[in-house]
Amino acid sequence: MKIIFLNTWGGKAYEPLMAFLSEHSASADFFCLQEVFDSPSSRTVSWGGRADILADFRSTLPEHEGYFSPAVQNFDGDEYMDFPLIHGNAIFAKKDITIASHGDMLIAGDGWPDSGDIQAFPHKMQYVSFQKEGKMYTLAHLHGTPVPSSKRDTPARIAQSQRVADFLAAEKGEKILGGDFNLLPDTESIRMIERAGMRNLITEYGITTTRNALSYGQYPEADRQYFADYAFVSSGVGVAHFAAPQMEISDHLPLVLECT
């Protein structure tokens, strides 16, 4: 079973991103994609992401069923847009996999947009449950709160990790979790997921960064951060391969997981 986690950067690096998805479409059972926009408009958002990128993902992955998890309307993460826009996450599952259930849950933020507070911007975890080779799985991914940009612990991030840990504890069978956590590896927020019985594959496989030059170029060298994205598995999930290949399809690297 092959799973790819990726913050897509809203499709800003469009051509290489779509080529990557197409290349892996036959072999990947699941794509778990963060920072996905949906809109009837083909415009770009304030920082260059594509408003209608979800439609392009669907057309590029015709053998996968797409599940979209909307988080907020008419806001691109930086600015309000003057056209219809939905910002969220998506899971694309191979159509030969029977999905028993799917959904999402709020893990950070509330009161948006009435409060106007960027810290209240809602962030969700999306999940699907399915059976494969007689074993039940829950696959979840998230786009964690980016505030503050230090990626250090805050009460909101601790609460976010507690919600994730509580969700995992309530699910039956094996669990696989990934995505853009917006956290550094040495935070208590990450340790909470590990203590919930999840193997941290970033640490276990010695991954040295989940970012690339498209990310580094946005910040002075002293402010560069080398981690944001993680993949975790429960103890009963066998891992045949895990990597964060260095490529520029987004300002994040894809996490490629092959399970047995």
Q: What is the 3-state secondary structure (H, E, C) of the chain?
A: CEEEEEECHHHCCHHHHHHHHHHHCCCCCEEEEEEEEECCCCCECCCCCECCHHHHHHHHCCCEEEEEEEEEECECCCCECCCCCEEEEEEEEECCCCEEEEEEEEEECCCCCCCCCHHHCCEEEEEEEEEECCEEEEEEEEECCCCCCCCCCCHHHHHHHHHHHHHHHHCCCEEEEEEECCCCCCCHHHHHHHHCCEEEHHHHCCCCCCECHHHHCCCCHHHCCCCCEEEEEECCCCEEEEECCCCCCCCECCEEEEEC
pLDDT over 80 at 60, yes or no: yes
More confident residue, 80 or 137: 137
pLDDT band of residue 223 (cuts 50, 70, 90) is confident
pLDDT band of residue 121 (cuts 50, 70, 90) is confident
The mean per-residue pLDDT over the stretch 62-85 comes to 93
State the sign of the Cα–Cα–Cα–Cα dihedral 148, 127, 33, 234: positive
Domain span at 231: 2-259
| Beta carbons of 105 and 143 less than 8 angstroms apart | no
pLDDT band of residue 112 (cuts 50, 70, 90) is low
The mean of the pLDDT values for the chain is 95
Task: Say which CATH number the domain at 236 has.
Answer: 3.60.10.10
pLDDT over 90 at 116, yes or no: no
Domain count, the chain: 1
More confident residue, 67 or 80: 67
**pLDDT tens digit sequence for 226-249:** 999 999 999 999 999 999 999 999
**Separation CA 67–CA 84 (nearest Å):** 19
